[in-house]
């Protein structure tokens, strides 16, 4: 179709990148944020507003959202598969869709209460797991996420194609222990295919699944230098852009040439 935009990336971008950070870790506030700021990049931080002091836990993230980053929902209590545990308490195989409805709805409500200025934000699957129950009773909770959020981030082996990706179960690359060059490789492969690479970080030179500060700095410098070709933006911004582009395509299809 003449004039049809083949992908949703505007301003001459070849592809998109989202840097996502899970679990609300201290090194993200103290290590990642200054490096992002130096390079003029915005990212997504998925937090768990858990326990009696959930308001206090969310407090430092208010300023993060004010600086243009996304503060997203990682559930209240971070439930993962029982396979990670030695008991069957408080884990996904013994939970129901109603339990996840509460985890997701309440996580969203708490973040919205503390950061009301943030009108829209996305979800991230704890431990990348997207099911409840087991065997014949195993169910996906992706539909619960779809009721509450514009997008959800999981894990996968590919960068997301703007036309075919399930926005409520986006693929992301876990990049713990990766070198700068490997992360740039993932970004460039996605850009070459006009796709959207989502990278998942935990600690920055700290704690579990960490990437070194120097490797993270190398990646951010690269994304800053290539900002005219590669659109680095929070998950919610890229998801909204894809959603609008898909809606426009559908409208054109329905009304003919």
State the residues that interact with Zn ion by CB under 5 A. Answer: 22-23, 126
Q: Which is nearer to Zn ion, 22 or 215 (CB)?
A: 22
Distance of closest approach, residue 245 Cβ to Zn ion, in angstroms: 30
Q: Which is nearer to Zn ion, 23 or 103 (CB)?
A: 23
Distance of closest approach, residue 103 Cβ to Zn ion, in angstroms: 13
> Whose CA is closest to 203, among 173, 176, 182?
176
Q: What angle do CA 20, 23, 24 make, to 5 degrees?
A: 85
Q: Which is nearer to Zn ion, 149 or 240 (CB)?
A: 149
Q: Which is nearer to Zn ion, 14 or 23 (CB)?
A: 23
Distance of closest approach, residue 2 Cβ to Zn ion, in angstroms: 46
Residue nearest to Zn ion (CB): 22
Q: How is residue 211 written in tokens?
A: 């990437």
> What is the spatial distance between Cα 58 and Cα 56, in angstroms, rounded to a whole number?
5
**Burial class of residue 136 (count of CB atoms within 10 Å of its CB; 0-12, 13-18, 19+):** exposed
> What is the spatial distance between Cα 119 and Cα 139, in angstroms, rounded to a whole number?
30
Strand partners, 201: 21
Q: Which is nearer to Zn ion, 23 or 215 (CB)?
A: 23
Distance of closest approach, residue 77 Cβ to Zn ion, in angstroms: 11
Indicate the length of the chain as a whole number.
Answer: 257
**Burial class of residue 243 (count of CB atoms within 10 Å of its CB; 0-12, 13-18, 19+):** middle
Distance of closest approach, residue 72 Cβ to Zn ion, in angstroms: 11
């Amino acid at each position: 179709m003449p004039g049809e935009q083949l992908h949703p990336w505007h301003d001459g971008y070849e592809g998109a990148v989202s840097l996502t950070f899970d679990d609300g870790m201290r090194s993200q506030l103290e290590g990642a944020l200054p490096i992002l700021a130096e390079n003029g990049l915005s990212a997504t931080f998925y937090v768990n507003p858990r326990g009696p002091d959930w308001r206090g836990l969310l407090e430092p993230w208010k300023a993060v959202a004010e600086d243009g980053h996304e503060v997203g929902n990682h559930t209240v209590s971070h439930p993962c598969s029982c396979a990670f545990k030695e008991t069957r308490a408080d884990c996904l195989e013994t939970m129901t869709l109603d339990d996840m409805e509460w985890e997701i709805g309440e996580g969203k409500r708490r973040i919205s209460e503390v950061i009301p200025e943030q009108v829209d934000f996305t979800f991230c699957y704890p431990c990348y797991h997207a099911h409840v129950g087991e065997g014949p009773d195993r169910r996906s909770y992706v539909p619960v996420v779809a009721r509450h959020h514009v997008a959800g981030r999981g894990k996968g082996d590919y960068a997301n194609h703007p036309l075919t990706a399930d926005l409520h179960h986006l693929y992301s690359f876990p990049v713990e222990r990766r070198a700068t060059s490997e992360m740039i490789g993932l970004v460039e492969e996605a850009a070459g295919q006009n796709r959207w690479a989502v990278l998942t970080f935990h600690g920055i030179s700290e704690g579990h699944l960490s990437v070194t500060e120097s490797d993270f700095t190398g990646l951010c410098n690269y994304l800053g230098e290539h900002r005219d070709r590669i659109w680095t933006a929070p998950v919610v911004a890229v998801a909204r852009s894809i959603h609008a582009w898909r809606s426009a395509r559908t409208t054109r299809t329905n009304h003919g040439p």
